[in-house]
Every structure is written in C-alpha cells, then in structure tokens.
C-alpha cells in the first residue's frame, strides 16, 4: 500500500467536500488542523475544486488532499496540476483510472460489483471506494465482496455518517469511510472553524472507538 493510502487508513475518515468558492478552503483547512483530521477529498462537483486543492496544499502542507468525483481525463490533469495527492472516482471508468495511473496519481476507483473489483485488481489496485455504500447493500454487501476478494480494502462512501460509521469500521478490510457530515455546506460557507473543528474531532474519535472494539 502506498504512503498515501496508509495515511488515509490512519485517520479512518475521509471528509468529502464540495466547495462553491475556493476561498472557503482556507477556513476549512484550519478546521481540519484544529480537529486533527488531516485528510480531505475535494470533489470536482464544483469548478472551484482545482483552485481549492492548490490553496489547501500551499497553506496546509500537512494535509493530505485528494480530488474527488473525477470523471474526465481533463479533471485528472487538473487534479495532478493542482497538487492533489490522490484521486477518487465514483465508478470504475477504465479510461479515467488508466489516466490516473499514467500520471502517477494514486487512485481509489468506485465499485459496487465483483466485475468492477476484478477490473481494479487487473491494474494492481486493491484500495477501492464502495459507492454508493448504503444504497448498494451496505455492510452486508461488503461482507459478500470480501469473501472472494480477501486482499481488497474498501472506503465505503454514500449514506454514511456518525450514526452508522462504526458498523463499517468494525470490518477489518475497511480502511476508512467517506462522508460529508463533518463538512456541512452552511458551516463551510460561513467559515465556522470552531464548529467544523468539533465535528472533525468527533469523527476521528468515533473512528478510533469503532476500531478499538
């Protein structure tokens, strides 16, 4: 496993962020630092993503910043140019995954079926995003996937929050969970650092407690 993926597993939680304005990243980065959650996925669901990624990398070098919802080769290039440490895709598009690999950008492709898992394994990728987690069968489906693919680790995302993350992190083959409950849009837009930092701190604490059981 690459150092990038080891760091994702270290925290157990990956905030999935949509930033309407790149400048909102400044306060958010401070909240991550204060909350002890030093990994983030900035999604390309907003045109501000490349600028926000570059800002976070420059002002908070301790943060591990990835690019999420990467759907096109152009976005792969933009993510790499902005300094993203990794990329995340919602589904398994061989063209996009191969573009990430060609650029040396670690990628966590989205999967929710055995066929997609096998496409990843064919490329030497064994850390996969399970998405949309709850809608795809949740913990029950993950257990089924783990059976034939015992060496694969997962980052379930979609429908996960503070109320159910423990059921996922209790599985030894879940590296981390992704979610946006700790980066609520209204708090991010308001630059509410203390509130965001508290939510991040709580997320890290819940993840640690879940793994300790």
State pLDDT tens for residues 178-203: 999 999 999 999 999 999 999 999 99
Residue 161 has φ and ψ, to the nearest 5°, of: -150, -165
DSSP three-state, residue 104: coil
Contact 25, 19 (CB under 8 A): yes
- Cα–Cα distance, 61 to 207 (Å, whole number): 23
Token pair listed for 182 = 């700790």
- Cα–Cα distance, 182 to 92 (Å, whole number): 26
Exactly one of 9, 23, 34, 41 is catalytic; name it. Answer: 41
Which DSSP helix (H) or strand (E) runs through 153? strand 153-156
pTM, 2 dp? 0.96
- Cα–Cα distance, 36 to 17 (Å, whole number): 17
Contact 105, 81 (CB under 8 A): no
Cα separations (Å) of 173 from 152, 170, 194? 7, 9, 33
The tens digit of pLDDT for each residue in 49-102 reads: 999 999 999 999 999 999 999 999 999 999 999 999 999 999 999 999 999 999
Token pair listed for 11 = 């925290």
- Cα–Cα distance, 105 to 24 (Å, whole number): 25
Res 212: pLDDT: 87
Q: Give the residues across from 127 on adjacent strands.
A: 153
Class of 3-212 in CATH:
alpha beta
Q: Let me know if 129 is a catalytic residue.
A: yes
Q: Let me know if 202 is a catalytic residue.
A: no
The tens digit of pLDDT for each residue in 157-177 reads: 999 999 999 999 999 999 999
Q: Give the residues across from 130 on adjacent strands.
A: 111, 156
In degrees to the nearest 10, what's the CA dihedral of 195, 88, 210, 164?
Answer: 70
Whether cis (ω within 30° of 0) applies to the bond prior to 132 is yes
**Strand bridging mode 110-111 / 107-108:** unpaired
Each domain of the chain, given as residue ranges in start order, spans: 3-212
Exactly one of 62, 74, 77, 129 is catalytic; name it. Answer: 129
Mean pLDDT across the stretch 8-28? 96
């Amino acid at each position: 496993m690459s150092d990038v993926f080891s760091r994702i597993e270290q925290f157990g939680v990956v905030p999935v962020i949509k930033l309407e304005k790149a400048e909102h990243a400044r306060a958010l980065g401070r909240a991550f630092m204060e909350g002890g959650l030093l990994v983030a996925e900035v999604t390309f669901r907003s045109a501000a993503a490349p600028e926000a990624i570059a800002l976070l990398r420059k002002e908070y070098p301790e943060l591990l910043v990835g690019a999420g919802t990467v759907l096109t080769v152009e976005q792969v290039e933009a993510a790499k140019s902005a300094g993203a440490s990794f990329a995340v895709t919602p589904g398994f598009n061989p063209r996009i995954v191969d573009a990430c690999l060609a650029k040396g950008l670690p990628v966590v492709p989205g999967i929710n079926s055995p066929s997609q898992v096998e496409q990843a394994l064919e490329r030497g990728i064994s850390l996969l995003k399970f998405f949309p987690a709850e809608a795809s069968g949740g913990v029950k489906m993950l257990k089924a996937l783990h059976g034939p693919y015992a060496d694969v680790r997962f980052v379930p995302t979609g429908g996960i929050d503070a109320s159910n993350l423990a059921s996922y992190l209790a599985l030894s083959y879940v590296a981390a969970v992704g979610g946006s409950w700790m980066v609520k849009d209204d708090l991010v837009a308001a630059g509410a650092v203390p509130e965001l930092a508290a939510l991040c701190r709580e997320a890290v604490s819940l993840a640690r407690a879940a793994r300790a059981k």
